[in-house]
Amino acid sequence: MQPIRCLAAAVAYLAVLAAPSAAGLPGLPLPVQQEGAVYRVLHWVLALWLVREINSLLNAWAENNWIFRSGKGSWDWPQETAVVTGGAGGIGAIVVQRLLSHGVTVAVLDVQPLSDIFTPEERKRIKLYHCDVSSPDAVHKAAEALRSDHASPSILINNAGIGRGNTILETPPERLQRVMGINLLSQWYTIQEFLPDMLKKRKGHIMSTASMSAFVAMAGQADYAATKAGLMALHESLTAELKHLYKCPEIKTTVVFPTWTRTALTAPLEKGIRSSGAAMVDPKDVAELMVSQILAAKGGRLIWDPIGVVPAIRALPIWAQALIHDHLAQVAIGNEITGIAK
């Protein structure tokens, strides 16, 4: 659709350029005194539309690793195996359900039992591997069992994550290591386990669940936000290595940035979130966005930001960034700090 929209914008803009005035455009019989103003408005509106569509087209091309063709033809969903960390509950469980509905074989790496949202039929089709993803040995053991039970996975969704609100001074070392291990280091371990087989097949998709906290860290959330910013760096480095080191741009990488999502972990913070003016989204919507990206065989960044301003916050003047941080400070520290997550 993007090439079609870009072509339509180009045709409309060229039509305006070719017309000597607004009166020369079909369907616009205007008084002479209004022709100049209408022509100028049309000229700039269509020019901006064309620039926007060209930018979108270039973004899509870049996110597809500068490959023109779609990679959807190489995927046969009933023949694919996906690994979902943290897939026993929350957003991950809904992602598992969506993948199952398309015939994908799903393996879940989690320390929790499967959620009650799964039907008996879905439970029969899910292979649950009890695995502490913060342990490289546990991840290797689960990966070996998975490869013995199924084909090597072509899809890796790193969704496991925890978060608890603590100030920097109140964060005990064991807690900090746990958050870093599950949210960030685990993704090194799973990528190291499953990427080599993807490289052999020259096909795969690696998806990481980050958070808007990667762009805007809040008081009482330093450990969580640091891991999510780290995931953004991991995604960018992995994408570059696949293209330039392994010469395998066919393997897609996606990093997801949900906003506040209505889960059990965000329940203690709902009052603060509402007072900040931020909206909360349904986990089903986030899961649908993630699975749609997999099915489209697209890579890139999925940012839950309808008006597209959050990633640009880092480019704002320091005083503007300070005002935003001040506004958001009470979301965590203004509530009982018991649990915080994407």
Indicate the domain borders of the chain.
Answer: 2-63, 72-333
Q: Which residues form the catalytic set?
A: 224, 228
Region 245-249 average pLDDT: 96
What per-residue confidence (pLDDT) applies to 341? 36
Give ∠ CA 103-108-113 in degrees, rounded to 5.
120
User: Lowest mean pLDDT: which of 45-59, 206-220, 221-235?
Assistant: 45-59
Is the confidence at residue 336, as pLDDT, over 70?
Answer: no
CA torsion sign for 145, 149, 152, 155 is negative
Q: How many alpha carbons fall within 13 Å on the CB side of residue 341?
A: 22
H helices of the chain, in order, are 2-18, 32-63, 90-101, 120-125, 136-149, 173-180, 186-201, 222-244, 270-275, 283-295, 318-328, 330-333
What per-residue confidence (pLDDT) applies to 337? 42
Q: Tokens 């080191």 appear where?
A: 245
Q: Tokens 């949210």 appear where?
A: 183
Region 163-176 average pLDDT: 87
Query: What is the b/e burial string over 207-226, where b = at least 16 CB atoms within 10 angstroms of the residue's CB?
Result: bbbbbbbbbbbbbbbbbbbb
What per-residue confidence (pLDDT) applies to 194? 98
- Rounded CA gap, 29 and 119, in Å? 62
User: pLDDT digit string (tens) for 10-50?
Assistant: 887 777 677 655 555 555 555 555 656 766 777 788 888 88
83: β partners:
107, 156
Is the confidence at residue 160, as pLDDT, over 70?
Answer: yes
More confident residue, 341 or 54: 54
Mean pLDDT taken over the chain: 85
Is the confidence at residue 261, as pLDDT, over 80?
Answer: no
User: Lowest mean pLDDT: which of 24-28, 135-139, 168-172, 300-304?
Assistant: 24-28
- Rounded CA gap, 192 and 209, in Å? 17
- Rounded CA gap, 296 and 252, in Å? 11
Is the confidence at residue 124, as pLDDT, over 90?
Answer: yes
For 108, counting Cβ atoms within 10 Å of its Cβ (0-12 exposed, 13-18 middle, 19+ buried), the class is: buried
User: pLDDT digit string (tens) for 268-297?
Assistant: 666 666 666 666 778 899 999 999 999 999
Q: Which CATH number fits domain 72-333: 3.40.190.10, 2.40.50.420, 3.40.50.720, 3.30.470.30?
A: 3.40.50.720
